[in-house]
């Protein structure tokens, strides 16, 4: 494959990603890498240890190549058999992954040490503001810094591509574009049906939610990308082997299984839906940019520390809501994350729908006032040199 032309004075960035599980690690780093190339004219190498996980988000990935270019990003398969390479100007270890020792030596061997950053997990907790940008460990002459994404001023912000909200709004104001997009995924939205997307981990509370949706007077079309929640959906439907394309109707509820789509298509799906159930980190942020009410299934952590993160986000997110609406949405999220019965909380949440809809857009606009994460990283680098 021909090498991409290198422009003089372009800064070189290396982003290292180990796929711990699921798609968030590669989802975040792939999005960041593309944005650094497209909007900041950086040369980016993305080192990833699991090309199969990457292929789900980016079907163009060739599993057999150790080096390839995708959307301007140089993708390197990071294997145990590390080949010597020069260190870049900026080195990002995503989510505290451990860099190859030979690469650490290459960083230390540079005449001017690189900027070395640990890109952390997203959290709304208050301590993040105090820790963002602080020095971490040092390797020889190379200092590492903490870089925290976040929702508050003083954090690294959220990933948001330039013009994203304008594109989203245009699409949401264009019923024909939405219809064509949905049709491309084999979705024929029933007249008057609310659209809900469901991307979540296994959840014992799902059956109670589906019961209410089925019994509701308002029809619902539930769109479920292939993934971990399908087992719960199968149990509720009383079927086995659900796969993309399957459609099942139970009273007012139509359940449709979707293929896992490219990241930009997933954005469009979120933009089409009236309500989005999302999980982890990246889909959670994308649902916020969709400007629609959402439900977050947070990634479970040892000793339930994820519950502190959930509460911290709810405290921030629900500011400005009336007390009953705040209680409704907080209760719904808490029950979902505990795997409890959703029926009462769903009914209460529905009562505050117009307020929650307005609030979702207001929250999105408020978050968009912050510099986006890629711009904040570039600024951090400029300040550092």
Q: Do 118 and 136 touch, CB atoms closer than 8 A?
A: yes
DSSP codes, 234-247: HHHHT-S---TT-E
Does residue 25 interact with ligand TRH by CB under 6 A?
A: yes
Contact window for ligand TRH (CB under 6 A) among 127-135, 165-173, 183-191, 257-265: 257-265
For tokens 């947070």, what's the residue? 298
Q: State yes or no: is 311 an active-site residue.
A: no
Does residue 149 interact with ligand TRH by CB under 6 A?
A: no
Contacts of 80 (CB under 8 A, 6+ apart): none
Does residue 164 interact with ligand TRH by CB under 6 A?
A: no
Does residue 203 interact with ligand TRH by CB under 6 A?
A: no
Q: Do 2 and 40 touch, CB atoms closer than 8 A?
A: no
Binding-residue pattern over the window 110 to 129 for ligand TRH, x denoting contact by CB under 6 A: -----------x--------
Structure tokens at 230: 């399908």
Q: What value does the CA radius of gyration of the chain take, rounded to a whole number of Å?
A: 22
Does residue 363 interact with ligand TRH by CB under 6 A?
A: no
Q: Tell me, what DSSP letter sits at residue 280?
A: T
Residues 296-335 interacting with ligand TRH (rule: CB under 6 A): 299
Give the other-Cβ count within 10 Å of 380's Cβ: 17
Does residue 178 interact with ligand TRH by CB under 6 A?
A: no
Out of 139, 145, 260, 380, the only residue in the binding site for ligand TRH (CB under 6 A) is 260
Give long-range contacts, CB 8 A cutoff, 24+ apart: 2-8: 4/43, 4/69, 4/72, 4/74, 6/43, 7/41, 7/43
Q: Least CB distance from residue 326 to ligand TRH, whole Å?
A: 25
Contact window for ligand TRH (CB under 6 A) among 5-13, 20-28, 34-42, 234-242: 20-28
Cross-strand partners of 16:
47, 93
Helix pair 323-338, 305-317: axis angle to 10 deg: 160
Q: Output 157 or 280, the one with its CB closest to ligand TRH.
A: 280
Estimate to the nearest angstrom the gap between the alpha carbon of 213 and the chain centroid.
26
Out of 132, 168, 279, 359, the only residue in the binding site for ligand TRH (CB under 6 A) is 279
Q: Tell me, what DSSP letter sits at residue 82?
A: P
Residues 214-253 interacting with ligand TRH (rule: CB under 6 A): 225
Q: Which of 281, 282, 335, 372 is catalytic?
A: 281
Q: State yes or no: is 25 an active-site residue.
A: yes
Q: Least CB distance from residue 324 to ligand TRH, whole Å?
A: 29
> Strands 135-139, 115-119: parallel, antiparallel or unpaired by DSSP?
unpaired
Q: Output 73 or 88, the one with its CB closest to ligand TRH.
A: 73
Count of residues touching ligand TRH (by CB under 6 A): 23
Q: Output 205 or 280, the one with its CB closest to ligand TRH.
A: 280
Q: Which of 14, 25, 226, 372 is catalytic?
A: 25
Report the distance separating Cα 213 and Cα 195, nearest Å. Answer: 11
Residues marked active site are found at 25, 281
């Amino acid at each position: 494959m021909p090498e991409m032309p290198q422009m003089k004075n372009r800064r070189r960035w290396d982003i290292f990603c180990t796929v711990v599980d699921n798609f968030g690690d590669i989802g975040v780093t792939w999005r960041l890498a593309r944005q650094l190339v497209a909007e900041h004219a950086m040369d980016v190498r993305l080192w990833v240890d699991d090309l199969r996980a990457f292929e789900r988000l980016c079907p163009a990935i060739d599993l057999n190549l150790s080096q390839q270019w995708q959307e301007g990003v140089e993708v390197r398969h990071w294997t145990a058999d590390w080949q010597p390479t020069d260190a870049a100007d900026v080195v990002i270890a995503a989510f505290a992954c451990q860099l190859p020792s030979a690469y650490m030596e290459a960083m230390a061997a540079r005449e001017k040490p690189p900027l070395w950053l640990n890109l952390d997990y997203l959290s709304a907790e208050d301590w993040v503001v105090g820790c963002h940008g602080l020095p971490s460990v040092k390797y020889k002459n190379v200092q590492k810094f903490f870089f925290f994404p976040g929702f508050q001023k003083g954090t690294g912000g959220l990933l948001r591509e330039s013009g994203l909200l304008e594109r989203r709004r245009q699409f949401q104001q264009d019923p024909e574009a939405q219809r064509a997009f949905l049709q491309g995924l084999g979705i024929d939205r029933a007249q008057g049906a609310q659209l809900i997307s469901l991307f979540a981990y296994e959840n014992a509370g799902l059956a109670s939610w589906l019961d209410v949706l089925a019994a509701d007077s308002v029809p619902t079309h539930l769109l479920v990308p292939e993934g971990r929640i399908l087992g719960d959906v199968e149990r509720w439907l009383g079927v086995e082997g659900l796969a993309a394309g399957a459609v099942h109707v139970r009273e007012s509820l139509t359940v449709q299984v979707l293929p896992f789509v490219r990241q930009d298509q997933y954005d469009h799906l979120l933009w089409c839906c009236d309500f989005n159930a999302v999980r982890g980190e990246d889909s959670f942020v994308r649902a916020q940019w969709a400007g629609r009410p959402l439900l977050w299934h947070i990634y479970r952590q040892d000793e339930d520390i994820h519950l502190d993160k959930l509460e911290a986000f709810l405290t921030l997110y629900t500011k400005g809501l009336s007390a009953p609406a705040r209680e409704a949405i907080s209760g719904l999220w808490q029950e979902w994350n505990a795997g409890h019965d959703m029926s009462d909380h769903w009914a209460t949440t529905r009562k505050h729908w117009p307020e929650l809809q307005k609030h979702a857009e207001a929250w999105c606009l408020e978050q968009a006032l912050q510099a986006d994460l890629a711009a904040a990283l570039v600024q951090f680098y400029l300040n550092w040199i």
